[in-house]
Amino acid sequence: MEAEGILSNPPQTPDELKEYRATIDNIDAALVHLLAERFRCTQKVGELKARLDLPPADPKREERQVERLQALAEESGLDPDFAKKFLRFIVDEVIRHHVALRG
Ligand SMILES: O=C(O)C(=O)C[C@]1(C(=O)O)C=C[C@@H](O)C=C1
């Protein structure tokens, strides 16, 4: 009996799907660890910039980062536009932290 797409007797998760999901969980954990490491590094950068009175954002540096990441994305089969948006999302958060550090 099925009502509005909800199965009363849901099928078991296939083993193949479980395996993919285990891989996804590992990759997600690695991403979180890598991002935490990146933010520890940018925290140091933010402190340095505040100390030396340097601007929080460096658009020229960002341009070089986008170019490099888009090339890497193309080489590895990732959508370069997604790579660009992902970097923007992270860098915007970093800049927010840098601004807060200036007090
Ligand atoms: O390299 C810097 O100057 C940083 O502050 C780090 C970072 C980044 O997260 O990669 C963040 C903000 C800048 O606009 C550029 C790069």
Range of weakest confidence among 4-8, 34-38, 41-45: 4-8
**Contact assessment for residue 46 and residue 97, using Cβ atoms and an 8 Å cutoff:** yes
pLDDT in tens, 41-92: 999 999 999 999 999 999 999 999 999 999 999 999 999 999 999 999 999 9
Pocket of ligand 1 (CB under 6 A): 42, 45, 57-58, 61-62, 65, 91, 94-95, 98
Q: Rg (Cα) of the chain, in Å, rounded?
A: 20
Q: Where are the domains of the chain?
A: 17-101
Closest CA to 38 of 94, 102, 97, 80: 94
**Superfamily of chain region 17-101:** Chorismate mutase (1.20.59.10)
